[in-house]
Amino acid sequence: MTKKLRVGILGATGMVGQRFIQLLEHHPQFEITALAASDRSQGKTFQEACTWRLAGEMPAFVRTMKVEAPQPPLDCQLIFSSLPGDIARDSEGSFAAAGYPVISNSSAYRLDRDVPLLIPEVNPDHLALLDSQRAGRGGHGGFIVTNPNCSTIMLALALAPLHSRFGVKSVIATTMQALSGAGYPGVASLAISDNVLPFIEGEEEKIEQETLKILGKVTAANVTDAPMDVSAQCNRVNVSDGHMAALRVKLVQAAGIEEVKAALASFTAIPQELHLHSAPAQPIIVREELDRPQPRLDRDAGNGMSVTIGRLLPDNVLDYRFVALSHNTIRGAAGAAILNAELLVALGKLNL
Other beta carbons within 10 Å of 225:
14
CB of 331 to ligand NAP, least distance (A): 10
User: What is the residue-wise DSSP string for 314-325?
Assistant: E-SSSSEEEEEE
Q: Check binding of 124 to ligand NAP (CB under 6 A).
A: no
Among 106, 133, 152, 278, binds ligand NAP (CB under 6 A): 106
Return the residues of window 237-266 that contact ligand NAP according to CB under 6 A: none
- Give the nearer residue to ligand NAP in terms of CB position, either 29 or 41: 41
- Give the nearer residue to ligand NAP in terms of CB position, either 180 or 308: 180
Total interface residues for ligand NAP by CB under 6 A? 29
CB of 152 to ligand NAP, least distance (A): 9
Tell me phi and psi for residue 288, to 5 degrees: -95, -20
Distances 272 to 19, 107, 120 between C-alpha atoms, Å = 22, 27, 10
User: Cα–Cα distance between 64 and 37 in angstroms, integer?
Assistant: 15
Catalytic residues: 150, 243
∠ at Cα 239 (276, 267), nearest 5°?
30
Among 5, 7, 8, 14, binds ligand NAP (CB under 6 A): 14
Q: Check binding of 150 to ligand NAP (CB under 6 A).
A: yes
CB of 308 to ligand NAP, least distance (A): 17
Tell how far CA 320 is from the center of its chain: 25
Q: How far apart are the first and last CA of the chain?
A: 17
Assess contact for 280 and 216: CB atoms under 8 A.
no
Q: Check binding of 278 to ligand NAP (CB under 6 A).
A: no
**Site track 35-54 with ligand NAP (rule: CB under 6 A), x = hit:** --xx-xx-------------
| Cβ neighbours of residue 35 closer than 8 Å, sequence gap 6 or more | 8, 9, 12, 13, 17, 46, 62, 65, 66, 67, 68
Q: Check binding of 329 to ligand NAP (CB under 6 A).
A: yes
Choices 10-18, 204-212, 275-283, 299-307 (CB under 6 A): range interacting with ligand NAP: 10-18
Q: Check binding of 304 to ligand NAP (CB under 6 A).
A: no
Return the residues of window 153-182 that contact ligand NAP according to CB under 6 A: 180-181
Q: Check binding of 295 to ligand NAP (CB under 6 A).
A: no
User: Cα–Cα distance between 82 and 80 in angstroms, integer?
Assistant: 7
Question: Of 56, 60, 4, whose CA–CA distance to 28 is shortest?
Answer: 4
Residues near ligand NAP (CB under 6 A): 11-17, 37-38, 40-41, 70, 82-85, 87, 105-107, 150, 180-181, 183-184, 328-329, 332-333
